[in-house]
Amino acid sequence: MRTVQSLISMYKEGNYYLKRMLVLVSLLTALISCGGNGSGGTVPDVNQAPLFTSTSSFSTLDNSFKTGYQAVATDKEDTAIIYSITGGADDVDFLIEPESGAVSFVIAPDFEHPHDENIDNIYEVEISATDSNYASSRLNLKITVSGNRVLLVIPIVVHVLYQEDTEHESNITEEKILSQIVVLNKDFRMKNTDLDNVAAEFKSIVTDMEIEFEMAKVDPNGEATNGITRTLDLTHESADENNIYFGNSGGHDAWPTNEYLNIWIYDGSDRLGNIGLGGRGQFPGGDPLTDGVVIPYQAFGTINPVARNQNLHLGRTATHEIGHWLDLRHVEMETNFMDTYVPDQQMLMFSEGQKATVHSIFSDGGGREELYENLTK
């Protein structure tokens, strides 16, 4: 592969110098015809090569094709600039968009298993900027790949739908809501203290999802917020479960789902006080008006009131349903967060394959690409 690339590079080098020689011959001819021997002729201006203004070093996360690096050069003659990859120890690992200069990986890098030439997670590539007159300049770029970092911090808005009775427990406290955020960040970052209980056959594939959550700090109008809305629930006796998503039906409208993760909290108990449905999460690509997660208050967070009698007291319902929101399906994998119908204490891990699935939805064409773009501007 590198031999072929070397031949291509040699061809490009030869073609480049041939063009430069033709330019010099043209200049010499112009000098002679214009009396450029000192007898009063005017020496024509020499075309100047583009000047790179973008940095020569850059850092990016692993497991993503996008590097985030944009090559930028300026041209004194204001002609069009074409970018290309012309060399470097790791040139075969990269692609570049000729007109925009955006650099991406051919294969997404893996911090734990680097495939750069020096196997040190520092990828070296030479970029060329060529103007319309074939004048060219080059930049030696080093892209450092980092691991164990956060791919994305997702802001959450919790819509609390409470019952009219002021003594009813459904109007949960902010403390209870924050206890759920703690659980999410432990579970998704592989920091939960019960990891030792993962089934032996799955220990080798347990992974850090590199995603974190926080309560929204700014609402859609740009105003400061604690990320909590509270609404008198007028949908409790309704047969239409979708009413919970709409203010004009007695629920609460979603905040823009390309900027927030919406979570609706409601009273999910039946007349005997038991939860029938633990929750539901919408997969990417669905109706943006209903995009988010719905969870009974009795299965949300770790502070009372919680459905301890149904083993829904450790906040794992939210971990599971947000997994669906991140495009994860149910699995028959013991101790996995996406296993079905198991108590909270048996939901302990995400796998490397699940991480790849989740990260893919934030890439080009992924189901939550727009969310990723809005949160990383």
Q: Where are the domains of the chain?
A: 2-146, 152-375
Question: pLDDT at position 307, please?
Answer: 82
Max Cα separation, the chain? 107
- Give the separation between CA 285 and CA 239, rounded to whole angstroms: 25
- Give the separation between CA 185 and CA 187, rounded to whole angstroms: 6
The count of C-alpha atoms lying within 13 angstroms of the C-alpha of 61, restricted to the half-sphere facing its C-beta, is 14
Question: pLDDT at position 40, please?
Answer: 47
Q: What contacts 51, CB < 8 A, 6 or more positions away?
A: 73, 74, 75, 76, 137
Question: pLDDT at position 30, please?
Answer: 42
Query: Residue 96: which pLDDT band, with cuts at 50, 70 and 90?
Result: very high
- Counting other chains too, the contacts that 173-176 makes at CB distance below 8 Å and 24 or more residues apart are 173/303, 174/226, 174/228, 175/303, 176/300, 176/301, 176/303, 176/304
| Residue 120 scores a pLDDT above 80 | yes
Question: pLDDT at position 313, please?
Answer: 86
Q: Which residue has the higher pLDDT, 239 or 257?
A: 257
Q: Looking at residue 92, what DSSP letter applies? A: G
Question: pLDDT at position 17, please?
Answer: 53
Q: Which residue has the higher pLDDT, 207 or 58?
A: 207
Mean pLDDT value of segment 315-341: 95
Considering 124, 126, 210, 321, which one is annotated as catalytic? Answer: 321
Q: Looking at residue 78, what DSSP letter applies? A: -
pLDDT, averaged across the chain: 86
| Residue 377 scores a pLDDT above 70 | yes
Question: pLDDT at position 60, please?
Answer: 80
Question: pLDDT at position 64, please?
Answer: 79
Mean pLDDT value of segment 182-206: 93
Question: pLDDT at position 18, please?
Answer: 47
Mean pLDDT value of segment 119-125: 92
| Residue 171 scores a pLDDT above 80 | yes
CATH of domain 152-375: 3.40.390.10
Q: Which residue has the higher pLDDT, 148 or 307?
A: 307
Question: pLDDT at position 29, please?
Answer: 46
| Residue 183 scores a pLDDT above 70 | yes
Question: pLDDT at position 26, please?
Answer: 47
Buried b (16+ CB within 10 A) or exposed e, 62-85: bbbebbebebbbebeeeeebbbbb
| Residue 68 scores a pLDDT above 90 | no
The proportion of the chain whose per-residue pLDDT surpasses 90, expressed as a percent, equals 63
CB 315 within 8 A of CB 295: no
CB 359 within 8 A of CB 151: yes
Question: pLDDT at position 61, please?
Answer: 75
Mean pLDDT value of segment 299-303: 94
The proportion of the chain whose per-residue pLDDT surpasses 70, expressed as a percent, equals 86
356's tokens: 């790849």
Query: Residue 11: which pLDDT band, with cuts at 50, 70 and 90?
Result: very low
318's tokens: 């939210």
Torsion of the alpha carbons at 228, 291, 254 and 311, rounded to the nearest 10:
-30
Question: pLDDT at position 13, please?
Answer: 52
Q: Among the CATH numbers 3.40.50.300, 2.60.40.60, 3.40.50.1970, 1.10.40.30, which is that of 2-146?
A: 2.60.40.60
- Counting other chains too, the contacts that 309-315 makes at CB distance below 8 Å and 24 or more residues apart are 309/274, 310/274, 310/275, 311/343, 311/344, 311/345, 312/275, 312/278, 312/343, 312/344, 313/344, 314/183, 314/344, 314/345, 314/347, 315/179, 315/180, 315/183, 315/184, 315/344
Question: pLDDT at position 2, please?
Answer: 45
Q: Looking at residue 373, what DSSP letter applies? A: H
Question: pLDDT at position 59, please?
Answer: 77
Tell me how far CA of residue 226 lies from CA of 19, 177, 216, 298, in angstroms: 62, 11, 6, 21
Query: Residue 39: which pLDDT band, with cuts at 50, 70 and 90?
Result: very low
Question: pLDDT at position 55, please?
Answer: 84
Any catalytic annotation for residue 321? Answer: yes
In the chain, count H helices and then E strands. 5, 15
| Residue 88 scores a pLDDT above 80 | yes
